[in-house]
Amino acid sequence: MAQERGPASVDLYWLPLGAGGRVVRWCGRLYESWAAWREHRDRAALFHAGLMLRLDDTAFAVEMGPVWNVTEPDRGVLLEGPVGTRWLGRFRAFRYEVRCWPGGHIPDLAEAVASPVRTTHEPGTVAAVLDVLPQLPPLTWGRDELGAGEMWNSNSAVAWALACTGHDMDALRPPPGGRAPGWSAGLVLAGRHGWDPGHHGAGAALTSRASRGESIRSSPARRRGPAGVARRGGRPRRTSRRAR
């Protein structure tokens, strides 16, 4: 008899860009003012996406952030990548990391807007998200290496992971009046890995492959990122700590 699983969920959080950081907030405002002028539109509030997953008795905090802003050694780092340019990625100040932190937290989660957004309560889908995250490529933050028309950032990573695991992406939007720069770049990459944006549930095959631990990429996964930035790899291990 199959063992009964505990509670499962994926919750999407929309955090105002620069939550808890004055410099990032002002830089974001300057960027959005320039982008709005260039695109002949009104300015919008900018949001940064994060995920909280729960499977059985463990919660996982999923976020992309600087390698230096969270110091806990067991924070579930899956990969690191460069910021700005591949060459700058040689320096710690210009590297980001993607975390899937068992029993962890997302900084400034209390400032999230119109959140959480529950995307699924299916254990298999939650497990697929956990399995697909280590396959995220370490692209350069702030650059458009995919030719997607948008830079790669934390929103790209979240959108890619959700699309590749069969979520209804049409139903996931930033809060009214807001934008999530980089979101569409993640969808472009997911499309290259087999996600069909015109068919809800088209990620089911990718979900099945991810849940079996198979790569969803058509080419072998690189084990090292740009500028020698190492991938950590592997599904995050659950700890004995209880979910918060």
Q: What is the DSSP string of 62-125?
A: EEEEETTS---TTS-EEEEEEBSSTTGGGSGGGEEEEEEEET---TTGGG-EEEEEEEE--HHH
Which pLDDT value is given to residue 26? 52
What's the pTM value of the predicted model, to 2 decimals?
A: 0.79
Please write the tens of the pLDDT for every residue from 217-244: 543 333 333 333 344 555 665 544 433 4
Q: Note whether 115 and 202 are within 8 A (CB).
A: no
Q: How many CA atoms lie within 13 A of 5 on its CB side?
A: 14
The predicted-structure confidence for 57-98, as pLDDT tens digits, reads as follows 899 999 999 999 888 889 999 999 999 999 999 999 999 999
17-56 in b/e form (b: 16+ CB < 10 A) is: bbbeeeeeeeebeeebeeeeeeeeeeebbbbbbbbbbbbe
CB under 8 Å to 189, separation ≥6 — which residues? 137, 146, 148, 156, 160
Percent of the chain with pLDDT over 70: 69
Mean pLDDT of the chain: 80
CB atoms within 10 A of CB 7: 13
Distance CA 3, CA 5 (A): 6
Identify the pLDDT of residue 196.
74
Q: What's the rounded mean pLDDT across residues 2-20? A: 78
User: Helices 154-164 and 204-211 meet at what angle, rounded to 10?
Assistant: 90
Q: How far apart are CA 194 and CA 32, in angstroms?
A: 32
Alpha carbon dihedral 98, 102, 104, 107, in 10-degree steps, equals 20
